[in-house]
Amino acid sequence: MPSDLNRKSVLLIISGGIAAYKVLEVIRRLRDRGIHIRAILTKGGAEFVTPLSVAALTENKVYQDLFSLTDEAEMGHIRLSREADLVLVAPASADILAKMATGQAGDLATTALLATNKPVMTAPAMNVEMWNHPATQANIATLESRGVLRVGPASGDLACGEFGSGRLAEPAEIIASVVDFLEQQDAPKPLAGKKAVVTSGPTHEPIDPVRYIANRSSGKQGHAIAEALAQAGADVTLVTGPVTLPDPAGVKVVRIETAREMLEAVQAALPADIAVCAAAVADWRTADEAGQKLKKDGSGVIPDLKLSENPDILATISKSGPMRPGLVIGFAAETENVTAHARAKRLRKGCDWILANDVAPATGTFGGDDNEICLISGDDETSDERWERQSKTGVARALSARIIKHFS
């Protein structure tokens, strides 16, 4: 057990739900590791666990009332939300997730969540239909786009008698997630002093003022890689096409639209030690962009769109020369013969590594949250590294660890 956990603090928010009793075990085990815990108990949470039991285990006062003058004098809700290293919401009911997503602040718990500038982790627990409801899934997506972490839910027998997703993650899993996060905060920065440039998202190639050529890339993988490299200490410039994602923490972001703009931004970010080309750059653009919207006039005549080839960003920065990054990594998004096509692409482009991934529609990779990678660093299969299917955040961390290993 790392001794520095004794300096760590968690603000635990217990919302309503039968699974609240499991959180008592979480408190006990985190305290065993020396982690300081303050707790906010919502009105719903107090229906399932008592303030006395939470206070006894945290060895701290339990906070419940937003408008308690005594509490505000001793520990204002702003200070309460800022003095923790992590805010943990467990169990996170559908109600509190909705309030978090919409920025409500009607009680102490939601006010603290809105006021905090610290990382937030949720452990959802609810009925399977509530979990699967489009509103809940939209709320989860909104929160995760803002960087809110999540552990669970698990699948299994639910307290309501039904079966499916919505079961609170086991205390051991919640504890492990909290401890891993807190330990990472003090982890060494092995890429400190290294400069990285990462490309992400699609490019939009105009046809006319209202139409463009693009692809289905969400930018999730590239953004996750930029954040993972920054967490490892690298000085990261993220060059991104049009996406709806928030900017990764600790990263310089340059926004572009076209492939030509992306190439210019990447070259402006050089020299760099690391380049990761995760963007799905459009291969072609229209040779002549129309100055006005192309009209359908009823004649049945279809405009003849002549295409020009876009610059090859990966091949350009892979060329030898004083500005070439020490490690150039590309992606090969393929729909068939994935590794064979990726291996050929690596040789053709001249990059050091290629991360091959299957983006056939059935995989859900484009726009989805998961990815399955084969890292290719040599001319034949003996060098292939196949990674299990995991979240794009997990892929980013795995790539960051592989880059660290390369430089060490």
13 is in an annotated binding site: no
How far is 74 from 150, CA to CA, in rounded Å?
Answer: 31
Between CA 54 and CA 295 the distance in angstroms is 67
* Annotated catalytic residue, options 160, 277, 351, 374: 160
Question: Count of H helices and E strands in the chain?
Answer: 14, 22
Any residues with CB less than 8 A from the CB of 16 and at least 6 apart, and which? 42, 43, 44, 45, 47, 48, 93, 95
DSSP string, 318-358: HSSSTT--SEEEEEEEESSSHHHHHHHHHHHHT-SEEEEEE
Does 404 show up as a binding residue in the annotation? no
Query: CA–CA separation, 342 vs 353, rounded Å?
Result: 10
Separation of alpha carbons 298 and 260, rounded Å: 35
- The response to whether 313 counts as a known ligand-binding position is yes
Q: How far is CA 149 from CA 118, 177, 352, 367, in A?
A: 12, 10, 33, 19
Q: Is 202 labeled as ligand-binding?
A: no
Bridge-based pairing state of the strands 9-14 and 36-41:
parallel
Annotated binding residue 274: no
Active site residue 160: yes
Residue 194 annotated in ligand binding: no
Find out whether 322 is annotated in a ligand binding site.
no
- The answer to whether 407 is a known ligand-binding residue is no
d(CA 245, CA 247): 6
Element (H, E) at 20: helix 20-32
CA distance 125 to 91: 6
Cis, bond preceding 91 (omega within 30 deg of 0): yes
Judge whether 252 is annotated as a binding position: no
Catalytic residues: 160
Residues at the annotated binding site? Answer: 283, 293, 311-314, 331, 345, 349
Binding site for CTP, residues?
283, 293, 311-314, 331, 345, 349
